[in-house]
Homo-oligomer: A and B are copies of this chain.
Amino acid sequence: MRYSKLFGKTIKEAPKDASLISHKLLYQGGFIRESSAGRYYFLPLGLRVHQKIQKIVKEEMDKAGAQEIVTPVMHPKYLWQETNRTTSVGFELMSIKDRSEMEFVLGGTAEEMMVDLVRKFQLSYKDLPFNIYQFSTKFRDELRARGGLLRAREFMMKDAYSFHASEEDFKKEYENMKKTYIRIYERLGLKTLVVESDNGYIGGEYCHEFIVESQAGESKFLTTQDGSYAAHEDVAVFQVDDRNVDEEEKPLKEVEAVRGTTMEEGVKLHNKPLWQQIKDVLFVDERGRFILAIIRGDYDVNETKLLHLIKAYTLRLATEEEIRTILHSEPGFISPVRIKEDLEKDVQLVIVADKSLHSVKNAYGGANKKHRDLFNMNIGRDYQGDIEGDIALAKDGYLAKNGQPLLAKRGIEVGNIFQLGFHYSAKMTGALFTDATGEQKPYYMGCYGIGIGRTMQTIVEMHNDVKGIIWPDGISPFQVQLVGLNLDNESVRKQAEQVYEKLTQAGIEVLFDDRTSVGPGEKFADADLLGFPIRLVVSIKSNGQIELKKRKEKETELLNLEDLIGKINSIIL
């Protein structure tokens, strides 16, 4: 390809809202352009990278035994109603009607579509297992699209779905996919951590994210130094340290407490430790239920864990007015003790107690009245949760179950794998196979995603320097940038053309900067910005030879045309 003919050249300016280096570089290099917020054009250079990533993903998926198919982009809405996902993910889904008023959904994932396809076939245990995947455009109506391709509203995703006769069989595929993903990211030049994570609106019981550690990422996770434990903040667990559990339980006592509404003011007024206080957070879920989350005072509530325990989709904080008029309590003075005694019949209040409350005796906190506190609250004796469990947010420095301290990190989620179990096949009528005894049984399922555009930008985020991108060999849009200088000189022009032709014939991907209106400085800067593994220069100075420089290194080397191809192949192999 001649650079003079290339659509989408380099540019000095970056978009005003681009804060990430990867976003800037992809824009400046002429890889992408934004259409509307979060929806991108891929220009010729950008699409080449995107397709190379896609090819690597496809090769590894095929090698792993998965089979590529494709589903329509418009999913019949009734399928999403079969699994109740129009409610559970409603706010992120976009609906559309066709001329006959049939409703469709623009899918963010395709579980229903895949199950609907599979149930069109009468399959038996002999046809199992299988793993079908597609590359297709996905839609997420994100509240805020930002960071370029890192959080786009429209993007290509590789999504795979496996169907099994048993959990045991599924687990083999889950491991197979885990290994496949590790190989894929290795080939893409990305170091990933496999992190336990939350299944969000996908459903199922457990899942893992593949995270590239980076401050540019939105995924917060915790890991031990040796990597033996890694979990997303949403699901991370830790050891609760016992505090005064050997202390004798003292009688409950109400005291005056002229203080403000924060935890710190309680500590100050009573001169007792924060951990001995009870933290009460009152939420309202999407069904209008009040949820009182209570936890040891030095811990914070993890809303994701809380949502799972109460089987709800969304939470908001209760207002001061709701606390006073409906719960007959007082902001900053809420207590689980006797809070249910005055409730009207139609008010639903669920108390969720974190298990950390067992690690403290004689706790103090509000008394459901202004300027009144309780001392010596003890779980089991004075109050208890309707639900008890782990709703605590893990933090840097807490101890993992294995005793090692947790380290808090940030990263970019580039892929994920999910156990789905019977989550979809049980809800969707007829998603059944015939087992060896002739009985009809639901499929046991898993699903596996990789966002191609996000992976592409992550690679740039991890592989760059002050001058520009440094593409890993396998996905660079071209392998070689051939810079022609002094092209007004007939013999240099001829030599450059000859090099271009010879390399191209040898199957090497060359971008030939054949511009005559641009000086050497700009050409070198462009080559560095675009970031292909090898830069060649032909000029008067190179005197019939060709100067070779690797993007990663500073040294240059002069070569004869005869030796060039061998040298290039030795570098990019």
Contact mask for chain A residues 134-172; partner B; CB cutoff 8 A; 1 contact, 0 none: 000101010100000000011000000000000000000
Among listed A40-48, A402-410, A441-449, interface-contacting one: A40-48
The answer to whether A69 touches B47 (Cβ under 8 A) is yes
Classify the interface of chain A: helix, strand, loop or mixed: mixed
A70 lies within 8 A of chain B by Cβ: yes
Provide the bound-state CA to CA distance between A94 and B39, in Å.
18
Provide the bound-state CA to CA distance between A126 and B68, in Å.
42
The answer to whether B39 touches A153 (Cβ under 8 A) is no
The answer to whether A98 touches B141 (Cβ under 8 A) is yes
Known: A69-B42, A74-B139. A96 touches B102 (CB 8 A): no
The answer to whether A70 touches B96 (Cβ under 8 A) is no
A121 lies within 8 A of chain B by Cβ: yes
**Cβ contacts under 8 Å, A35 to chain B:** 71-72, 75-76, 113, 116-117
Report A78 CB to chain B, min CB distance, Å: 9
Task: Please report which residues of chain A, range 238-271, place their CB below 8 angstroms from some CB of chain B when the two chains form the complex.
Answer: none
Report A169 CB to chain B, min CB distance, Å: 14
Among listed A4-12, A175-183, A334-342, interface-contacting one: A4-12
**Cβ contacts under 8 Å, A69 to chain B:** 7-8, 41-44, 47
A569 lies within 8 A of chain B by Cβ: no
**Cβ contacts under 8 Å, A102 to chain B:** 36
**Cβ contacts under 8 Å, A41 to chain B:** 69-72, 113, 117
**Cβ contacts under 8 Å, A44 to chain B:** 67-69, 132
The answer to whether A74 touches B117 (Cβ under 8 A) is no
Report A195 CB to chain B, min CB distance, Å: 29
Report A141 CB to chain B, min CB distance, Å: 5
Report A336 CB to chain B, min CB distance, Å: 37
Provide the bound-state CA to CA distance between A70 and B35, in Å.
11
Known: A35-B116, A143-B99. A72 touches B8 (CB 8 A): no
The answer to whether A96 touches B99 (Cβ under 8 A) is no
Known: A7-B132, A33-B120, A36-B102. A42 touches B67 (CB 8 A): no
The residue on B at minimum CB distance from A11 is B121
**Cβ contacts under 8 Å, A106 to chain B:** 96
The answer to whether B154 touches A72 (Cβ under 8 A) is yes
Provide the bound-state CA to CA distance between A72 and B42, in Å.
9
Q: Which of A9, A137, A517 has the most CB of B within 10 A?
A: A137
A206 lies within 8 A of chain B by Cβ: no
Q: Which of A70, A116, A153 has the most CB of B within 10 A?
A: A70
The residue on B at minimum CB distance from A44 is B67
Provide the bound-state CA to CA distance between A97 and B139, in Å.
13
Provide the bound-state CA to CA distance between A33 and B121, in Å.
10
A73 lies within 8 A of chain B by Cβ: yes
The answer to whether A154 touches B73 (Cβ under 8 A) is yes
Report A354 CB to chain B, min CB distance, Å: 34
The answer to whether B99 touches A141 (Cβ under 8 A) is yes
Contact mask for chain A residues 322-339; partner B; CB cutoff 8 A; 1 contact, 0 none: 000000000000000000
Provide the bound-state CA to CA distance between A120 and B33, in Å.
9
**Cβ contacts under 8 Å, A139 to chain B:** 73-74
Provide the bound-state CA to CA distance between A71 and B69, in Å.
22
Task: Please report which residues of chain A, range 70-127, place their CB below 8 angstroms from some CB of chain B when the two chains form the complex.
Answer: 70-76, 91, 94-99, 102, 104, 106, 113, 116-117, 120-121, 126-127
The residue on B at minimum CB distance from A99 is B141
The answer to whether A70 touches B99 (Cβ under 8 A) is no
**Cβ contacts under 8 Å, A97 to chain B:** 94
Report A367 CB to chain B, min CB distance, Å: 43
Contact mask for chain A residues 523-539; partner B; CB cutoff 8 A; 1 contact, 0 none: 00000000000000000
Provide the bound-state CA to CA distance between A44 and B133, in Å.
10
**Cβ contacts under 8 Å, A517 to chain B:** 126
Contact mask for chain A residues 491-517; partner B; CB cutoff 8 A; 1 contact, 0 none: 000000000000000000000000001
**Cβ contacts under 8 Å, A127 to chain B:** 7
The answer to whether A40 touches B72 (Cβ under 8 A) is yes
Contact mask for chain A residues 1-19; partner B; CB cutoff 8 A; 1 contact, 0 none: 0001111110000000000
8 CB contacts below 8 A, A to B, read A6-B67, A35-B71, A35-B76, A36-B76, A36-B102, A36-B104, A44-B69, A44-B132
A residues lining the B interface (CB < 8 Å): 4-9, 33, 35-36, 39-44, 47, 50, 65, 67-76, 91, 94-99, 102, 104, 106, 113, 116-117, 120-121, 126-127, 130, 132, 137, 139, 141, 143, 153-154, 517
Q: Which 5 A-B pairs have the closest CB atoms?
A: A39-B72, A44-B67, A96-B96, A42-B70, A35-B72
